[in-house]
Amino acid sequence: AQSVTQLDSHVSVSEGTPVLLRCNYSSSYSPSLFWYVQHPNKGLQLLLKYTSAATLVKGINGFEAEFKKSETSFHLTKPSAHMSDAAEYFCVVSEGVKSGNTGKLIFGQGTTLQVKP
């Protein structure tokens, strides 16, 4: 069975400082991994995805994530936080769409990012 664990439920940074949101995954095969963001009272927006191409994945709004198979991690980073980055972030693994799988997404519990002025 696949799963993701977000290691921090809440992260607080100052504006202009780096962001690190940590995610570990468990998968019996090469996973497809995603980060989604949810701003207050909004839907889920795709930030970036890893699907076995480059291990360093660049996303929108300056975010990137690195897939590390040896550490089973997929941490999300951004060099400099902006006030507008304050939101809930979800690390997600896909069941995959091959071999009869349905592609359903399995979500981590979420990390709330607070950005202080």
Minimum CB separation from other proteins for residue 6, in Å?
Answer: 10
Evaluate whether 33 touches 74 at the Cβ level (below 8 Å): yes
Q: How many residues bind other proteins (CB under 8 A)?
A: 23
Rounded to whole angstroms, how far apart are CA atoms 32 and 49? 7
Site for other proteins, residues 54 to 83, rule: CB under 8 A: none
CB-count exposure of residue 111 (10 Å: 0-12, 13-18, 19+): buried
7 binds other proteins (CB under 8 A): no
Torsion of CA 97, 102, 26, 10, to 10 degrees: 110
Minimum CB separation from other proteins for residue 17, in Å?
Answer: 28
Evaluate whether 114 touches 86 at the Cβ level (below 8 Å): yes
Rounded to whole angstroms, how far apart are CA atoms 19 and 8? 12
Site for other proteins, residues 8 to 47, rule: CB under 8 A: 32, 34, 36, 42-46
Lay out the site mask for other proteins across 91-110 (x = CB under 8 A, - = otherwise): ---x-xx----xxxxxxxxx
Minimum CB separation from other proteins for residue 109, in Å?
Answer: 5
Residues binding other proteins (CB under 8 A): 32, 34, 36, 42-46, 49, 51, 90, 94, 96-97, 102-110
